[in-house]
């Protein structure tokens, strides 16, 4: 036999969450600025690590060649990603600046 359909209740529905920064009591933009600063710091760290590896490699120190190439590629990829983010931010700003009110 087929069971009857149970009554639908809304007790299992939870309210929407507040934006990430607003839940902590701070402005939402501050969280974005923190994440962007952390990303820039990561790019800078990757560049410095690649530079150190190249200096050691150039000085004739015993350096793992594969590790040096991996460090260089990580630095290159992170820099390209950050340049892409910058370009998209500039494009978004230009679109906002060209909007007619």
pLDDT tens per residue, range 72-87? 999 999 999 999 999 9
Contact 70, 48 (CB under 8 A): no
Residue 43: give the domain boundaries: 28-97
What is the sign, positive or negative, of the torsion defined by CA atoms of 70, 74, 77, 80? negative
Q: Is residue 37 part of a domain?
A: yes
Q: Is residue 4 part of a domain?
A: no
Q: What percent of the chain has pLDDT over 90?
A: 54
Please give the Cα distance from 1 to 81 (Å, whole number): 60
Nearest in space to 47 (alpha carbons), one of 66, 75, 67? 75
- Give the CA count within 13 Å in the CB-facing half-sphere of 67: 8
Q: Is residue 9 part of a domain?
A: no
Confidence check: pLDDT of 3 > 90: no
Per the structure, the count of domains in the chain is 1
Q: Is residue 91 part of a domain?
A: yes
* pLDDT band, very low/low/confident/very high, at 63 (cuts 50, 70, 90): confident
Please state, as a whole number, how many other Cβ atoms lie within 10 Å of the Cβ of residue 44: 14
Q: Is residue 1 part of a domain?
A: no
Residue 101 confidence (pLDDT)? 76
């Amino acid at each position: 036999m087929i069971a009857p359909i149970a009554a639908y209740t809304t007790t299992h529905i939870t309210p929407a969450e507040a934006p990430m920064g607003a839940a902590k009591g701070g402005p939402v933009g501050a969280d974005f600025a923190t994440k962007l600063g952390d990303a820039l710091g990561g790019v800078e760290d990757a560049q410095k690590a690649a530079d150190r590896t190249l200096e050691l490699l150039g000085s004739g120190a015993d350096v793992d060649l594969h590790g040096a190439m991996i460090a260089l590629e990580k630095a290159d990829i992170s820099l390209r990603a950050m340049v892409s983010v910058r370009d998209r931010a500039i494009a978004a700003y230009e679109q906002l600046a060209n909007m007619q009110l």
